[in-house]
Chains A and B, each alone.
Chain A
């Protein structure tokens, strides 16, 4: 176990709806990164948060947004859900000092119908 927790475990939403996914980082970790993993693919970087600010973003549209809180936990928000947003959403926590070793939570499986 990495100590990274995510909620909910599974979620089913309808196209056009909005969703919020949550992540609590490992104790002592100050950085949270979010990834999207489609079936049969490697994780794709969405964005990273450090000191409550976005610290890098992948090739995802603005309807993907996030927050980091003072306790380093984080949220991923997705607006106007599309069918292609169906995927496993992974949160990874790390310490900025540790050569980018990132430890993943169990993930949230999102299904958009």
Chain B
């Protein structure tokens, strides 16, 4: 079992719709959870961090964390063409300094 899994294939959403991305992780002691956005040919950009169960909103982005079920999700509301990118889920465990990344999910927003 991979540490961090993002299983969905490319996601196409119409402009203005909600894009929903999911991520599961295997280490039950994981403490910190992050979403990075990566445009083609660029480096990952941190867009959300979440540390406790529940929802965290920042602008059009909402991160949701459920530690009991070991999943974290990202919602992008009012999707814009500029949101077209690959979204990487990253997880860090307590006392462990490295980030474990999923493979990423490509989002394409169709005007």
Contact surface of A with B, Cβ cutoff 8 Å: 2, 31, 33, 35, 40-45, 48, 50, 55-56, 58, 88, 90, 92, 99-107
Contact = CB atoms under 8 A, between A and B. Distances in A.
B45 A104 contact: yes
A45 B96 CA distance: 12
Given A35-B99, A99-B32, A106-B42, 17 more contacts: A2-B45, A41-B103, A41-B104, A42-B102, A43-B99, A43-B101, A45-B100, A50-B97, A55-B97, A56-B98, A90-B43, A92-B99, A100-B92, A100-B97, A102-B34, A104-B43, A105-B43
Contacts of B96: 56
Interface string B73-111: 000000000000000101010001111111110000000
Interface of B: 4, 31-32, 34, 36, 42-46, 49, 51, 88, 90, 92, 96-104
A45 B98 contact: yes
A103 B45 CA distance: 7
Contact of B101 (A42, A48, A99, A107): A42
Dominant SS among interface residues on chain B: strand
A58 B49 contact: no
A104 B97 contact: no
A37 to B, nearest CB: 8
Given A99-B32, A100-B32, A45 B43 contact: no
Contacts of A99: 31-32, 49, 51, 92
A106 to B, nearest CB: 5
Contact of A43 (B44, B46, B97): B44
A42 B92 contact: no
Contacts of B46: 101-104
A100 B99 contact: yes
Contacts of A105: 43
Interface centre among B31, B42, B44 (most CB of A within 10 A): B44
Nearest to A109: B41
Contacts of B104: 41-42
Contacts of B31: 99
